[in-house]
Homo-oligomer: A and B are copies of this chain.
């Protein structure tokens, strides 16, 4: 505090940092009534001072010197929006140990090092809030830790990456191929110059690790998540999915089973009537199932300057209330269990599989016997069309062990009558 104003330092002034700056400014008059105190942005840590100075009214708050912030005892709250592991990790730990409260959107860091960050916050009885780290502006972390806290959460399924959801929506609605939809996403600013983290599912995996940790009260890290991206999805897959009454979405799926936690990110066919199926464009949604609440879904903007800033400034207000009430650290790490993570091989899934085979008698029998010998039950077997000597087959399995399905796949790939296995996509 300084002159009766709560002092905040912002680390980073990129898209999200700029959003935080704007929202704090918009709320300048409201916040006094909301909190009984004004929040002042006292310092902004940046690398490039000149670029940063153009973005703010009072350039004197810009600094490149972390120590200047760390050692300023009037600063109560540090908002870390630099992203990446280092130096964010060091700064946050140093700040917590100095008794400062942290608000961050850093999913990369939390998905890997969540435990030490939250333990350090707890030791120092300070707040460590990160609503913006998952699904941007959508309140999901706080509801799981508060309003839904009396539930045993059985399942969390999320569309938590806007870039891939935009791409899949365009592919579905305009019959575009992946590369074209990605190009459009890049042009419109939905995809970054290097889109790897989005299209390969890494970004979604970080978010689902964080969600699973909170939902199941047991630490799940990025390394625990099985990951498949959407680069192999074709417009034809989506068309066939729609014929079967399904959409294809990149889903983060986490389940709390008796045998342990299942956690994965991959494209899936999902029934068009499921609430997640109509979450389109760059929107995100998180669907949960709890033993008391039943099904619930949270929908909104998962990224962007202002939606992400909405969550961050919400967290800042929350910390401010805790400081005023002298109860920082009120909600800390909720991972009080140590549940095992299940191997993907041991998980039960349904599969959609599309392949080209020789169009001659006996082929179907051979294919089905491979599945049969490996405990893979088939729900549907559809011959889609013929072209020349080849027939296109679509197979939908029943619930089967991933292990058994992969065994079948390995054998099918060696068979000369099978010319191409074009797609293998899980079915929700």
Contact = CB atoms under 8 A, between A and B. Distances in A.
Contact of A142 (B33, B142, B316): B142
Interface in A121-170: 131, 137-139, 142-143, 146-152
Nearest to A125: B325
Contacts of A300: 293-297
A423 to B, nearest CB: 28
A334 interface: yes
Contacts of A309: 150, 292
Nearest to A309: B292
A294 B327 contact: no
Q: Which 8 A-B pairs have the closest CB atoms?
A: A296-B300, A139-B147, A150-B313, A292-B310, A327-B327, A139-B143, A137-B293, A293-B310
A313 B150 CA distance: 6
A292 to B, nearest CB: 4
Interface in A298-324: 298-301, 304, 306-307, 309-311, 313-318, 321-322
Contacts of A195: none
A419 to B, nearest CB: 40
B148 A310 contact: yes
B310 A321 contact: no
Interface stretch (A23-31, A67-75, A106-114): A23-31
A384 interface: no
A306 to B, nearest CB: 5
Contacts of A150: 23, 27, 309-310, 313-314, 316-317
A149 B317 contact: yes
How would you classify the secondary structure of chain A's contact residues: helix, strand, loop or mixed?
A: mixed
A291 interface: yes
A364 to B, nearest CB: 38
Contacts of A334: 34
A83 interface: no
Contacts of A307: 292-294
A93 interface: no
A292 B143 contact: no
A315 B143 CA distance: 11
B293 A306 contact: yes
- Number of this chain's copies in the assembly equals 2
Nearest to A140: B147
A88 interface: no
A310 B290 contact: yes
29 contacts: A23-B292, A26-B152, A26-B291, A26-B292, A30-B152, A33-B336, A34-B217, A137-B292, A137-B294, A143-B143, A143-B147, A146-B317, A147-B318, A149-B314, A149-B318, A150-B309, A150-B313, A278-B278, A290-B310, A291-B306, A292-B310, A293-B300, A293-B307, A293-B310, A294-B306, A294-B307, A297-B300, A298-B298, A330-B330
Interface residues of A, number: 57
Contact of A331 (B27, B33, B321): B321
Interface string A206-224: 0000000000010000000
Contacts of A147: 131, 139, 142-143, 310-311, 314-315, 318
Give the interface centre of A146, A322, A327, A334 by most chain B CB atoms within 10 Å.
Answer: A146
Contacts of A146: 139, 142, 146, 314, 317-318
A148 B139 contact: yes
Contact of A313 (B33, B292, B296): B292
A326 interface: yes
A275 interface: yes
Interface in A316-360: 316-318, 321-322, 325-327, 330-331, 334, 336-337
